[in-house]
Amino acid sequence: MMGFCRLAKFNSLCLIIILVVVSSEENAQVLKDRASLLSFMSGIVSDPDHALESWNSSSFQVCNWTGIRCDSRNDRVVELDLSSRSLRGTISQALSNLSFLSVLDFSGNFFGGQIPAELGALSRLKQLSFSSNLLEGKIPAELGLLRRLVYLNLGNNQLMGEIPVSLLCNGSSSIEYIDLSNNSLSGEIPLKNQCELRKLKYLLLWSNRLVGRIPPALSNSSKLEWLDLESNSLMGELPLEIVYKMPQLQYLYLSYNFFVSHNGNTNLRPFFSSLVNCSNLQELELAGNNLGGEIPSIIGDLSTSLVQIHLDENLIHGPVPPDLSNLVNLTLLNLSSNFLNGSIPTELCRMGKLERVYFSNNLLSGEIPSAFGDIPHLGLLDLSQNRLSGSIPDSFSNLSQLRRLMLYENRLSGTIPPSLGKCINLEILDLSHNRISGIIPSEVAGLRSLKLYLNLSSNLLNGPIPLELSKMDMVLAIDLSSNNLSGELPPQLGSCIALEYLNLSGNHLQGSLPISIGALPYLQVLDVSSNQFIGEITQSIQASSSLMELNFSFNNFSGNIPNEGIFALLSKDSFQGNSGLCGSISGMPTCRKKRGGGFIILPILLTLLGTPILCIFGYPLVLKSRNRRRLAIFSSGNLEQDEEQEREQPKYPRISYRQLTEATGGFNGSSLIGSGMFGHVYKGVLRDNTRIAVKVLDSKMGGEISGSFKRECQVLKRTRHRNLIRIITTCSKPDFKALVLPLMSNGSLESHLYSSHGSNHPLSLVQLVSICGDVAEGVAYLHHHSPVRVIHCDLKPSNILLDDDMTALVTDFGIARLVKGGDEASMNDSSSFSSTAGLLCGSVGYIAPEYGLGKSASTQGDVYSFGVLLLEIVTGKRPTDVLFHQGSSLHEWVKSHYPYKLEPIVEQALLRSPPPDGPAYSRKIWGDAILELIELGLMCTQYTASTRPTMMDVAHEMGRLKQYLSNPSTLTIEEVSSKVVPLN
């Protein structure tokens, strides 16, 4: 019995020892996890959101740290999720010691350096996401050791080299999601015949430099739902054997490669036959390849789930098959830029859900089917650059959702149907370069909805310009050139206050130019050449602060042309063919001085007559003026908010109307420094020598001006950021509203980009990148960090001001949207208040394409405008120049040169902003930076809003480029090499 007891005591002691040993090992592992995390934290150089603040705790328990989840049984770290925390630094190889880790997510940060190969030791890892960072170098082959991996996302980085074979062929069939998109990966897709990714559902490799053919082994992935290989250099015949074995395929993107059709690029039928098996197919994109052959009738047998088809920019010929009408749920059909011929099938109009139809740049003939008017949701119809004949159907009046109608460069005849005036949402109407005759119907001229442009040029139109045209108070461009219009130019056109471009050349217009035309506050281009205008050119044109291009040639103008104002920027070519003109412009006849005594007598008569009149009428006016000024002192002051909000806000200095009048010389024209849609901006100096800019809102705008004033007050009062203009105070009376802002000594970005604004010192590339970085930071603050979230809606060079240090400040929030709530979802839903109902979301050329289809303002719209700004800076082209002269957006123009025809654009950019002297700089480095700007601009201006980066992403990228240019010797050329971007 005693022996048994001794044995029992021994066993208990052994058990205790074992438990102590096991517990010690577990604690050691927990401590090892902690040490790994702290090692990782030591590589973080920036934590703006204080995400790792809890990691500084002295506690050994890591399970309460931000972003960490532990196993409840042994306190081992199983999840490390620090996504979208704005972290900067490198990824430590010490993370490979977290042996229980199943989820590792660092997406949406700014991690640089390489992906540690040691992470291949995380044998339990199921989810790995490093997307949207600044990672570089090659993808480690060791990641192929992660046999349990289900989700892998390395997209949107700067990775290069070939895709490791082990990543796609490692004996594991667990992987379901692979995203390596938007990098600079090269080589072929390394999927061998013996590899079987049978659980794979998503394969995203778009926007890389992949070559070769699509591997046949991909057909083993029969569960694939999403295949995106867009924007690479893949080649060969369309992969019919592969897609035939993917019955669950929903999204197939093969655009912008070098694919061809079968039978020597003559037969598309085999491929479309293989797609019939994909009963869930929703989107098919084959644009921008070399596809030949005809569109087969079997296309009508594809899934009725299809909502988008993109076959544009190919070599497809033959007729448009009527069988397309079987795709009853189609919303977008793009067949543009091919060689299609024959007539447009009337059967297509049975697709009642169509919203966008692109048939432009083909060889289509015959008449436009009147049945188009029966498509209830049609918002865009582009039939331009074909051989269509006949008249414009009256049935278009039924299209209540129509916003863009483009029929230019056809052979249309007849007259403009007055019924088009019933298209109350129409924003673009382009009927130019046809054979249309008759007058411009007053119903069409009175379309107030036109907000982008009206182009009726190069037709056979006659009669006068209708007075109703003045109702287009938000239209940005009007082109009536090369017609047979006659009569005088209505002065009421001065009501088109948003007008930027007006071309009336090549008509039979008579009379003198109205003063109101020169007074248009936003007008940049005016062409009245080849008409029969007479008289002197109005002084209001010379005084305009917005005009940049003028053409008065071949008229009957007379009088003196001074070498001042906008005229100082013009050559004699702008005035040729006017024998009565003279002046000091080079090449122009000198004006003769007139003699006579009338000029001596006239001042004497005015003095004698003026004194009694002044005594009779002047005194009551002085009294009235004093009373008005006294009222102004009491009515000016702080922002218009209720008393409770006012107490919470900092107090603003009181500046009276009288002080503003004195500071600006009575708002004299010599103090005018800019004009916009809602008013004028004057420079001034207060008595304490404070230099100010006074934005006076035009009272003629009525209720719209009140809304604009209130919006700017709300934005400027509630936001604080170094890259946003600050407000000094406001001055508000019933008939006068003004914002008082600090005067920016270096003017606007526009004044530095274009010599016509008087800047003789072009900005260097370093300065331009710094300015764009400032703008991106300011807008990112508005979108993501401001107390009240703001969508700017009007980003462009003239709304970016530069202070003494050339720091950029975003200004002009007159049409901004303020968003209720702080979450991104509310912004995307556009739950906005103080919105500008009925006003255009921006300026022509900078407006996101979805706005033209009736979508509400969103942060993605600002991203688009910023992308246009980048492309404008690099190309030196105004977006309006490209739009009006070439019929395409700046994005489309640059995209047509991308990626193999960019050299002339880069060379021109280098001429405007050459690299400085010094061993650290070279044309190659400068050229690479310019390519980075082009690619970022193209990414921001993608047609699909959801694929654009956020302004936070853009700000991060600009910060990286700014850092590189400030010290290029610290990085290699490869680290800033161009990467292909997704173009949709």
Q: Are the CB atoms for 962 and 915 separated by under 8 Å?
A: no
Residues of the chain with CATH 3.30.200.20: 657-742
Q: Percentages helix, strand, coil for the chain, rounded to the nearest 5? A: 35, 20, 45
DSSP letters spanning 799-813: GEEE-TT--EEE---
- Across 456-472, average pLDDT: 93
Q: How far apart are CA 540 and CA 752, in angstroms?
A: 24
Question: Where is average pLDDT lowest: 103-112, 148-157, 209-218, 604-613?
Answer: 604-613
Mean confidence (pLDDT) of the chain: 82
Q: Is the backbone of residue 444 left (phi > 0), alpha (psi -120 to 50) or beta?
A: alpha
Torsion of CA 853, 857, 862, 867, to 10 degrees: -10
Domain covering 448-583: architecture:
Alpha-Beta Horseshoe (3.80)
User: 615: buried, middle or exposed (CB in 10 Å: 19+, 13-18, 0-12)?
Assistant: exposed
User: 546: buried, middle or exposed (CB in 10 Å: 19+, 13-18, 0-12)?
Assistant: middle
Token pair recorded at residue 130 = 């490093």
Report whether pLDDT(441) > 80. yes
- Across 44-64, average pLDDT: 81
- Across 814-824, average pLDDT: 62
Q: Please report which residue ranges of 547-666 form alpha helices under DSSP H.
A: 598-635, 643-648, 657-663
695 among annotated binding-site residues: yes
pLDDT tens, residue by residue, 719-768? 778 888 887 777 777 778 788 888 887 888 988 888 544 445 678 899 99
Q: Are the CB atoms for 677 and 521 separated by under 8 Å?
A: yes
Show the beta-strand stretches assigned E in 608-752: 672-676, 679-685, 691-697, 729-733, 736-742
Neighbours of 446 (CB within 10 A): 16
| HEC profile of 259-284 | EECHHHHCECHHHHHHHCCCCCCCEE
Report whether pLDDT(919) > 70. no
pLDDT of the residue at 730: 74
Report whether pLDDT(833) > 50. no
Q: Are the CB atoms for 416 and 392 separated by under 8 Å?
A: yes
Question: Where is average pLDDT lowest: 188-192, 383-387, 561-565?
Answer: 561-565
pLDDT tens, residue by residue, 84-95? 888 989 999 999
Scan for tokens 């008065």, then name that residue.
Answer: 552
Q: Are the CB atoms for 193 and 219 separated by under 8 Å?
A: no
DSSP letters spanning 952-982: HHHHHHHHHHHHHHH-GGGS-GGGG------
- Across 140-166, average pLDDT: 94
Report whether pLDDT(254) > 80. yes
**For residue 502, what are the β-bridge partners?**
478, 526
Measured in residues, the chain has a length of 984
- Across 15-19, average pLDDT: 44
Share of the chain above pLDDT 70, in %: 81
- Across 578-597, average pLDDT: 78
Instruction: List active site positions.
Output: 794
The residue ranking higher by pLDDT, 738 or 606, is: 738
pLDDT of the residue at 170: 78
- Across 540-564, average pLDDT: 88
Q: How far apart are CA 894 and CA 938, in angstroms?
A: 8
pLDDT of the residue at 711: 61
Domain 657-742 has CATH 3.80.30.20: no
pLDDT tens, residue by residue, 622-656? 333 333 332 232 223 333 333 333 333 444 567 88
- Across 204-216, average pLDDT: 94
pLDDT band at 222 (very low <50, low <70, confident <90, very high): very high
Report whether pLDDT(928) > 80. yes
Residues 6+ apart with CB under 8 A from 724: 716, 778, 781, 782, 809, 810, 811
pLDDT of the residue at 823: 44
Q: How far apart are CA 776 and CA 808, in angstroms?
A: 10
**For residue 453, what are the β-bridge partners?**
428, 477
pLDDT band at 24 (very low <50, low <70, confident <90, very high): low
pLDDT tens, residue by residue, 270-325? 999 999 999 999 999 999 998 999 999 999 999 999 999 999 999 999 999 999 99
pLDDT of the residue at 644: 35
Q: How far apart are CA 276 and CA 555, in angstroms?
A: 64
The residue ranking higher by pLDDT, 3 or 662, is: 662
- Across 811-819, average pLDDT: 77
pLDDT band at 981 (very low <50, low <70, confident <90, very high): very low
Neighbours of 909 (CB within 10 A): 24
Distances (CA, A) of 134 to 39, 142, 552, 591: 20, 20, 53, 65
The residue ranking higher by pLDDT, 557 or 838, is: 557
pLDDT band at 195 (very low <50, low <70, confident <90, very high): confident
| CATH class of this structure's domain 749-976 | mainly alpha
- Across 657-663, average pLDDT: 83
pLDDT of the residue at 817: 81
- Across 403-416, average pLDDT: 95
Residues of the chain with CATH 3.80.10.10: 11-172, 448-583
SS3 244: helix
Q: Are the CB atoms for 180 and 203 separated by under 8 Å?
A: no
Q: Are the CB atoms for 719 and 786 separated by under 8 Å?
A: yes
Report whether pLDDT(358) > 50. yes
Distances (CA, A) of 569 to 60, 549, 563, 665, 672: 72, 9, 8, 27, 18
DSSP 8-state code for residue 557:
E
DSSP 8-state code for residue 901:
S
pLDDT band at 614 (very low <50, low <70, confident <90, very high): very low
Q: Are the CB atoms for 491 and 512 separated by under 8 Å?
A: no
pLDDT of the residue at 119: 96
- Across 367-379, average pLDDT: 93
pLDDT of the residue at 425: 86
The residue ranking higher by pLDDT, 905 or 644, is: 905
pLDDT of the residue at 820: 55
- Across 254-262, average pLDDT: 95
pLDDT of the residue at 917: 67
Q: According to CATH, what is the number of the domain 11-172?
A: 3.80.10.10
pLDDT of the residue at 263: 95
Report whether pLDDT(934) > 50. yes
pLDDT of the residue at 684: 86
Token pair recorded at residue 365 = 């003939």
Share of the chain above pLDDT 90, in %: 47
Distances (CA, A) of 243 to 220, 226, 235, 303: 10, 11, 16, 14
Q: How far apart are CA 972 and CA 158, in angstroms?
A: 13
Q: Rounded to two decimals, what is the model's pTM?
A: 0.69
